[in-house]
């Protein structure tokens, strides 16, 4: 069931990356404190990836599930501190596993799987 493990690792990676790109809302310090994604950081990452030709130039909005966009939304020093910068290649390669592989019956679904993302999360 490696394919299912890879999909779970992809959503786990998405959650991990989003935890570094989120900020608390106005209920700071309260029991019901919640977080929201930093839209400015996502937009900046999106624009950077457009200039680097890593996403189509005509894509108007950041993809909130794209692991590479989330990766670049994290400040560089934080990425280095938690050693994510060493995994950029793999994050880029598997940036859309969750959205492309979770439904096997779809025509564009990925046909193979491996354990790279599982190892990165470790």
pLDDT of residue 29: 83
Overall pTM > 0.85 = no
* pLDDT, one tens digit for every residue, the chain (122 residues): 777 788 888 899 999 999 999 988 878 888 888 899 999 999 999 999 999 999 988 889 999 999 999 999 999 999 999 999 999 999 998 888 888 766 565 566 566 566 777 777 77
pLDDT of residue 13: 92
Give the domain range for residue 37: 2-121
pLDDT of residue 103: 59
Please give the Cα distance from 78 to 84 (Å, whole number).
Answer: 8
pLDDT of residue 104: 62
For 50-111, give the DSSP string.
Answer: HHTTSS-TT--S--TT-HHHHHHHS-HHHHHHTTGGGGHHHHHHTTTHHHHHS-TTSTT---
Cβ(55)–Cβ(64) below 8 Å: no
pLDDT of residue 51: 92
Among the listed residues 70, 54, 56, 82, the one whose alpha carbon sits nearest the alpha carbon of residue 17: 70
Tell me how many domains the chain contains: 1
Residue 113 in tokens: 């799987």
């Amino acid at each position: 069931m490696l394919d299912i493990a890879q999909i779970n690792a992809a959503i786990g990676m998405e959650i991990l990356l989003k935890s570094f790109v989120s900020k608390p809302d106005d209920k700071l310090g309260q029991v019901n404190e919640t977080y929201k994604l930093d839209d400015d950081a996502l937009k900046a990452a999106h624009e950077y990836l457009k200039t680097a030709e890593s996403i189509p130039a005509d894509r108007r909005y950041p993809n909130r599930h794209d692991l590479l966009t989330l990766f670049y939304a994290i400040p560089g020093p934080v990425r280095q501190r938690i050693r994510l910068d060493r995994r950029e290649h793999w994050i880029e390669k598997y940036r859309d596993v969750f959205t492309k592989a979770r439904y096997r019956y779809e025509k564009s679904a990925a046909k193979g799987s491996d354990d790279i993302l599982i190892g990165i999360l470790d």
